[in-house]
Amino acid sequence: MFQDSQNQSFPHNSDNELISGESIISIRNLNHYFGQLEHLELRKQVLFDINLDIAKGEIVIMTGPSGSGKTTLLSLMGGLRTAQEGSLKILGREMYNASKQKLVEVRRQIGFIFQSHNLMTFLTAKQNVRMAIELHDRMLDLDMDAKATQILEYVGLKDRVDYYSDSLSGGQKQRVAIARALVMQPQIVLADEPTAALDKKSGRDVVEIMQKLAKEQGCAILLVTHDNRILDIADRIIYMEDGKLQKN
């Protein structure tokens, strides 16, 4: 497992702590549709009666064929879409029919990691991470450069803090993306194919960093992947097909 250069854990964030035993993500009878909801003939159902709980510190991997609804479900959990039918609670907040403001508040508590790292090429690794810190008013009085540097050291990029994206390998770019997602110590990390563009070693390093976060910080991780090489890090594997979670 990855060890940071000072052999120390990244500090724990106690904000928005849930009551012990409460699920960080709790879904009941969730349905979702594309198209115009007021016209039944024009809408297509893409998620069917989803029921799922994810606990603090748990790593859940979701697999299934392309087009099965995995990314749609991930986007609902991340507050990127409003839940249309059923109940979807994130950090104890109900997302059914949630306002735009409520969705924004929830998104600020979640770390997102995608296959495409989406780094700003004209910024250094440290500056890319700092951008995420600047979105949080409560952090504006802190030394943001020091905080960004600390998390980059945590993911093994101590010697790449001031490198621009074009000077980093694919695995290093993904580590910057992970640092950006983790810098605010979120209670939830949602990852969509984070290892798809990486070689075996880089992919393993990436998921072991996330695994360490989950165990040390009590962070829940939902990871969507087709990468069979990393299934062993999961506490639980769920399978989605045709918009339905399949029974194990």
Secondary structure of the chain in the HEC alphabet? CCCCCCCCCCCCCCCCCCCCCCCCEEEEEEEEEECCCCCHHHCEEEEEEEEEEECCCCEEEEECCCCCCHHHHHHHHCCCCCECEEEEEECCEECECCCHHHHHHHHCCEEEEECCCCCCCCCEHHHHHHHHHHCCHHHCCCCHHHHHHHHHHHCCCHHHCCCEHHHCCHHHHHHHHHHHHHCCCCCEEEEECCCCCCCHHHHHHHHHHHHHHHHHHCCEEEEECCCHHHHHHCCEEEEEECCEEECC
Is residue 16 predicted with pLDDT exceeding 60?
no
**pLDDT given at position 9:** 43
Give the max Cα distance, the chain: 60
Looking at residue 5, its pLDDT comes to: 37
pLDDT band at 48 (very low <50, low <70, confident <90, very high): very high
pLDDT at 211: 85
What is the reported pLDDT for 8?
41
Distance (Å, rounded) from C-alpha 141 to C-alpha 79? 27
Sequence-separated (6 or more) residues with CB below 8 Å from residue 100: none
Q: What is the pLDDT, as a whole number, of residue 205?
A: 85
Query: pLDDT band for position 37 (50/70/90)?
Result: low
Is pLDDT at 125 greater than 60 in this prediction? yes
Virtual torsion, Cα 211, 216, 222, 228, nearest 10 deg: 10
Looking at 63-72, 100-109, 143-152, 193-202, which range is the least confident one? 193-202
Mean per-residue pLDDT of the chain: 84
Domain ranges of the chain: 56-81+108-246
The C-alpha angle with vertex 176 and arms to 174 and 182, in degrees rounded to 5, equals 105
Confidence of residue 15 (pLDDT cuts 50, 70, 90): very low
Mean pLDDT over 17-40 rounds to 76
User: What is the per-residue pLDDT across 199-220, written as a single tens digit (0 to 9) for each?
Assistant: 888 888 888 888 887 788 788 9
pLDDT score of 17 more than 80: no
Right CATH for 56-81+108-246 from 3.40.80.10, 3.10.520.10, 1.10.10.10, 3.40.50.300: 3.40.50.300
Pairing of strands 25-34, 85-90: antiparallel
**Is the pLDDT confidence value at 234 over 70?**
yes
Judge whether residue 18 has pLDDT over 50: no
pTM reported for the whole predicted model = 0.82
